[in-house]
Amino acid sequence: MRNILFTVLTILLTLFGYTQNIKMNGSIVDSVTKEPIEFVNIGILNKNKGTISNLKGKFNLNVSKNFSNDSLTISHVSYYPIKIPIKNFNNHTIFLKPKTNELSEVIVSNKKKRKRKIGIKSYNPLLWLGAISKDMDIIENAQRINIRDKSVRVKYVNIYLRRGFKSDSSFVRVNFYKNVDNKPDEKIIFENIVQKKKIESGWLQIDLTKQYIYLEEDFFIGVEFIPDFKNPLEVYIGAILTKGKGYSRRNSQGEWNKLQGASTINVEIEY
């Protein structure tokens, strides 16, 4: 009899908890082309609860009713972000307005160029960081890059991947953030830089030579491995404790957390 009562109580508590969730889903499309937008970050700002849109622009997100007075922030580097109060959210199509693509001026010079690799170039064989979410969201690892107040062109991003992952390939997105008080702040390059890469142990390189990215002050480089929406993936980045300036966040729109050390991410620049 006691076991039956315990089972009934467990079921009731489960159902009660289920009813305390707000289920949201929808599609995100370009307001001009009406085409779906993939890999849009969707979440509650700095509350570590979010998700990302799939290849068809669709998303699903369940949140506790404790978040009913918050707003859902929907953002993509190539579009203007919007906020929707959760209590007013209806499952529907969400339109994002594309940003105007402003091209930076490129100065051609005969001066001989120098090349340099900046960031974390080593790793501890006993340390690694998880780089991909199992909850259809993103994990983003970021590293501060010091360029000493000079104009540089960023040509490559390098990420060291550890053994032990279960992935053949993954979409990888690179973001550039302004450095404010030694912490990632707003994005400073408004181009969606996504490349599909083979996942294997060793150095993974993101080629940015077609982007013509020029920066003049210290910045943070952020790396997202996009989850597979059909099969779970595992990806691990090398890490080190002896050097700082590393940050990580575990959710879309989530709060940045300072690492004790740093993830093995560096950039190759030309100046």
> In which band, very low, low, confident or very high, does the pLDDT at 16 lie, cut at 50, 70 and 90?
very low
CA distances from residue 106 to 94, 211, 221, 267 in whole angstroms, order as listed: 36, 11, 22, 20
pLDDT band at 57 (very low <50, low <70, confident <90, very high): very high
pLDDT at 201: 93
> Could you say which DSSP state residue 67 is in?
G
Residue 9, pLDDT above cutoff 60: no
Cα separation, 114 vs 205, in Å, equals 20
pLDDT band at residue 163 under the 50/70/90 scheme: confident
State the pLDDT at residue 6. Answer: 45
User: Number of C-alpha atoms within 13 angstroms, CB side, residue 71?
Assistant: 8
Return mean pLDDT, the chain.
Answer: 89
Give the pLDDT band of residue 71 (cuts 50, 70, 90): very high
Contact assessment for residue 82 and residue 74, using Cβ atoms and an 8 Å cutoff: yes
**How does DSSP classify residue 112?**
P
Report whether 251 contacts 263 (CB < 8 A): no
Strand partners, 175: 222
3-state helix, strand, coil in the chain (%, to 5): 10, 45, 45
Average pLDDT, integer, range 180-199: 95
Taken in order of first residue, the domains within the chain and their CATH numbers are 2-96 (2.60.40.1120), 115-270 (2.60.120)
> What pLDDT is attached to residue 60?
95
Which has more pLDDT, 181 or 2? 181
Contacts of 248 (CB under 8 A, 6+ apart): 129, 139, 140, 141, 142, 256, 257, 259, 263
pLDDT value, residue 263: 96
Q: pLDDT tens for residues 96-147?
A: 999 986 545 555 556 788 999 999 999 999 999 999 998 899 999 999 999 9
